[in-house]
Amino acid sequence: EPEVTQTPSHQVTQMGQEVILRCVPISNHLYFYWYRQILGQKVEFLVSFYNNEISEKSEIFDDQFSVERPDGSNFTLKIRSTKLEDSAMYFCASSDPGDRGRDTDTQYFGPGTRLTVL
Amino acid sequence: ILNVEQSPQSLHVQEGDSTNFTCSFPSSNFYALHWYRWETAKSPEALFVMTLNGDEKKKGRISATLNTKEGYSYLYIKGSQPEDSATYLCAFPQYNFNKFYFGSGTKLNVKP
């Protein structure tokens, strides 16, 4: 069964460094999302992406964050200058509503990348 | 910001017990409700997408109901098994489905 993959599974970085988190969505999917979960908190929406542009972004997704789909298969999240508070589990998800419509669309999640900022 | 709440936060049951937990969401402007099952160190897995008031969906021993007028959904597990141990999340989309709001999850532990 197709699945969403994410690399690396764990990334440790120093504050102020740039990190790129990588995701390979399911191949025929059209909608892509990044979420994060800080330890002990709710899963938070970061950004959604469709047709090579951002559809929606949260207040968290400031100028330090960017997303890209560089080659038609990877979907990346870049954090330009990491802060301690960026330490979290980052999840990628993808979906394809097909003919069903977005109201019944199912998102498929990757296993996450645990980012630790020291 | 939409507030999505889940209760209880955690639940410990014995194998064979049936159990249920709740997701509460804003009853105005309802579009859909998603339930996910999330085992430790794995990807959250979609269980149900519920769209209509009065919907009842079932997958094996797990079922869910939806009341959009009062803003809640129940997830039921009949005859819990140790492999049902996971965190169960609900998520509520905004009007255009480009953003989702998650509850804090119910962590279920089923003891053999």
- Chain A, residues 78-117, CB within 8 A of chain B, namely 91, 102-112
Which residue type is seen at B90? C
A109/B41 touch (CB, cutoff 8 Å), yes or no: no
CB B77 within 8 A of CB B32: no
Banded model confidence at residue A105, pLDDT cuts 50, 70, 90: confident
Task: Please state, in angstroms and rounded to a whole number, the distance separating the CA atoms of residues A32 and A75.
Answer: 8
CB B23 within 8 A of CB B35: yes
Q: Is the pLDDT of residue A100 over 90?
A: no
Closest chain A residue to B91, measured at CA: A43
B98/A55 touch (CB, cutoff 8 Å), yes or no: yes
A56/B98 touch (CB, cutoff 8 Å), yes or no: yes
For the stretch A31-76, pLDDT in tens is 999 999 999 999 999 999 998 999 999 999 999 999 999 888 899 9
With 0-12 / 13-18 / 19 or more C-beta atoms within 10 angstroms meaning exposed / middle / buried, residue A70 is exposed
